[in-house]
Amino acid sequence: MPLPPPRISKSRRPSSPSPTTSPVANGNHFMAELPAPVNKDVDFANYFCTYAHLYYQKVMLTDPVRMEAYYNAVFKNPYHFRNKVVLDVGTGTGILAIWCAQAGAKKVYAVEATKMSDHARDLVKANNVDDVVEVIEGSMEDVLLPEKVDVIISEWMGHFLLRESMFDSVICARDRWLKPGGVMYPSHARMWIGPIRSGLCEQKWNEFENAMSDWHCFANNMESQYGVNMNVLTKPYLEENEKYYLKTSLWNNINPSQVIGTSAVIKEIDCLTATVDEIRELHVKFSLRIKQDRTRLSGFAGWFDVHFRGSTQNPAKNEVVLTTAPSEDNPTHWGQQAFLLHPSVRVNEGDELAVSFLMVRSKHNHRLMDVEFTSELQQSSGQRHLPVFSKFYIE
Amino acid sequence: MPLPPPRISKSRRPSSPSPTTSPVANGNHFMAELPAPVNKDVDFANYFCTYAHLYYQKVMLTDPVRMEAYYNAVFKNPYHFRNKVVLDVGTGTGILAIWCAQAGAKKVYAVEATKMSDHARDLVKANNVDDVVEVIEGSMEDVLLPEKVDVIISEWMGHFLLRESMFDSVICARDRWLKPGGVMYPSHARMWIGPIRSGLCEQKWNEFENAMSDWHCFANNMESQYGVNMNVLTKPYLEENEKYYLKTSLWNNINPSQVIGTSAVIKEIDCLTATVDEIRELHVKFSLRIKQDRTRLSGFAGWFDVHFRGSTQNPAKNEVVLTTAPSEDNPTHWGQQAFLLHPSVRVNEGDELAVSFLMVRSKHNHRLMDVEFTSELQQSSGQRHLPVFSKFYIE
């Protein structure tokens, strides 16, 4: 039995114009639980292996929004780096570490968990900063540095900010290695949710229906041709496909005009003080106001921004913001995370949505997320609808 | 840094009309070595997880060549099953086990490593053979049966037969649980190689060249815009892409007319006596004769067949063959494995190819394979060309 289509993938297509999904088999698991211990080898097989490819590094290095933000953050605030000791968490090819050195850092420790570290070392040398940048292969949790650092820089953001749970490693680095009064790059992060309309709703629903009608043909054929009644598997097949087509959040670059109402900040993170407990589980209530008339609420989009403001003691003179909000001119490889409702809902200008949002880590993979939305529509006429509950998986 | 495109996948698209590739980062590793111990959790993350999805089970259950062969093997030789004790290695949804029960088996042990076992148990019950079929969740290497068995049935074949190394588990099952005089279903397997022409050669070469010209633009931009010279990574990027586009063997359903010469059996396996040592490394020399004039040798295709002949003591009355050879009418989800030469070679009718073939398991994943071809062309005129050496990865 040969291995079949890559329907489960350890990775996402960030640069694709069309949405992709990648489910993983889970049961119902939205209860908060103690985090399971991580098997490092499995984590490598599922996660880090991707970053060991130059192909992926190039994808990230060719996102101009990402590149400009970090470049400006460093070079417009060089006094944060000049003669300072810097730690780069997850250096990849070493670009951020090289920039820090070019901005005048005295020493840069560039930590990388994968074999990409070899390439980083070569790149550092070829750019004549090997007297400043020391590339260290290892996971941040294990690495021992000979000194504390003035600045921690890291590009740790996953889809909808927290996917990949890489910020855990940044927190660990900060708690172990940042000097009192040290600065985080970025210093702050925010998660956003906005109401959207999207043709993907119908598309995914059609795909789901096609998958099921295909199943029924298959089941009939199995009975008539091979004498095996498959009906007992129809429900689990439906559940598997419901999860895949309808409950898996989608990578998407949304046009700003698709955002049909106000957006809400659902989480603010101060990178200098945040704890893992604070991000392990998010439970937030917020309201959104519909601003387009006679439209449909297809669901919600999630995105983030991060800010480079330095610290209160040591503020950046030139603040920089990196946003992954819907944008026609400045899309990013992060895109937005779309959570689609089935069915979508008729809405009008002035309608209010009261939303209760829960996000926890997947029981099966601490780098993936399970999400719940409970949304209650109150029409501008005053009429209230029953709350709608939807589960999603960020795979 | 969000996870990027699924360029590395744990799985292949068997039913797709177009070829797909899925590389994994490896170095040069064609030396025979002692097999590394397998980390079972990693093996599950990389391999078994796929089979825990009904979607994939359905892909296999809708391959008519596969289904007909096993169905006929069982029901045209029911005396091999009637009142017999049977072991099904890797039962998946339990289809083969159900068929064995329907053919009159006294007892069927159906072993499955994934949670698919729950579905198998339900299916067995719904088809009223739960008094005969016992589904056991566990890996074949660990499972304890209360008795020895008369027949072992299994659909263990991966791409080019040996990918996935699942036959190891069948061998283990046989050595531990098959009664003397017992029968293997299938009983024999053969691996084939044939010379092919294919438009994929040029396609893959173009993709490779595009990737590299894209890299050069990227590197220029990194230098001019961000002050980092990337040239030191040009060679590793080339190597990574060479591996991905040119050295990774491709899943393909080849038209028989694309096979431009004689094919050779490169390995015969007697499932009753084969050992893991015998399949861990294949080193074979063989000749192929070109049978089309003025054509190009684009490379080689590999495929397999398996035979259901029973045993010498206990032969099948109705032999069945399952072949994955190039076929217009009966393609399979296994397709053929294409190994493409860059550049392709002009050949003519009557030319002879002397081929030396080596296949070993990947050092990084015992379920994947590394392959070497050394081919020497002797033209019908008598002129000999220098041997051409090519490495490939079966990912």
Determine the residue of chain A that is closest to B55 in CA distance: A237
B31: pLDDT strictly greater than 80: no
Contact A365, A24 (CB under 8 A): yes
CB contact under 8 A, B102 and A240: no
Does the ipTM exceed 0.95?
no
B10–A3: do the CB atoms touch at under 8 Å?
A: yes
> Choosing among A1, A7, A89, A99, which should be mutated to test the B contact, i.e. which has the most B CBs within 10 A?
A1
Residue with tokens 């400045």: A330
Q: Over its length of 395 residues, how does chain A's per-residue pLDDT go in tens digits?
A: 554 433 333 333 233 323 233 333 333 333 334 556 788 888 887 888 888 899 999 999 999 999 999 999 999 999 999 999 999 999 999 999 999 999 999 999 999 999 999 999 999 999 999 999 999 999 999 999 999 999 999 999 999 999 999 999 999 999 999 999 999 999 999 999 999 999 999 999 999 999 999 999 999 999 999 999 999 999 999 999 999 999 999 999 999 999 999 999 999 999 999 999 999 999 999 999 999 999 999 999 999 999 999 999 999 999 999 999 999 999 999 999 999 999 999 999 999 999 999 999 999 899 999 999 999 999 999 999 999 999 999 99
Peptide bond into B343 cis (omega under 30): yes
> Is the Cβ pair B99, A123 closer than 8 Å?
no
Chain A residue numbers touching B50 (CB-CB < 8 A): 3-4, 8
Helix (H) / strand (E) element for A283: namely: strand A281-289
- Residue B2 pLDDT > 70: no
Distance (Å, whole) CA A375 – CA A386: 9
| Cβ proximity of A153 and A100 under 8 Å | yes
Nearest to B6 among A9, A60, A158 (CB): A9
| B28 vs B52 pLDDT, higher one | B52
Residues from chain B that touch A163, judged by Cβ atoms under 8 A, are 2-3
**Active-site residue (options: B112, B164, B352, B395):** B164
Q: Is the pLDDT of residue B379 over 70?
A: yes
DSSP B161: B
Plot region of A94 (φ>0 → left; ψ -120 to 50 → alpha; else → beta): left
CA distance, residue A126 to nearest chain B CA (Å): 7
Burial of B167 (0-12, 13-18, 19+ CB in 10 A): buried
**pTM of the predicted protein model:** 0.90
* Mean per-residue pLDDT, B213-240: 98
To the query of whether residue B164 is one of the catalytic residues in this protein, the response is yes
Cα angle for residues B313, B270, B62 (degrees, 5° grid): 105
Helix (H, G, I), strand (E, B) or coil at B393: strand
**Reported confidence tier of residue B27, pLDDT bands at 50, 70, 90:** very low
Q: Name the phi and psi angles at A242, rounded to 5.
A: -60, -45
Both structure tokens of A35: 């985090």
Comparing alpha-carbon positions, the chain B residue that sits nearest to A2 is B158
In B, minimum Cα distance to A90 occurs at B1
Residues of chain A positioned with their CB less than 8 A from the CB of B97: none
Query: Among candidates B128, B129, B131, B152, which has minimal Cα distance to B140?
Result: B152
Interface touch A62/B218, C-beta < 8 Å: yes
Q: Which positions in chain B touch A236 (Cβ < 8 Å)? A: 54, 119
B155 is catalytic: yes
DSSP state of A118: H
Residue A328 — φ and ψ, nearest 5°? -75, -40
Q: Do A232 and B126 touch (CB under 8 A)?
A: yes
According to DSSP, residue A331 is labeled -
**Residue B98 contacts by C-beta under 8 Å, 6 or more apart in sequence?**
A228, B123, B124, B127, B129, B133
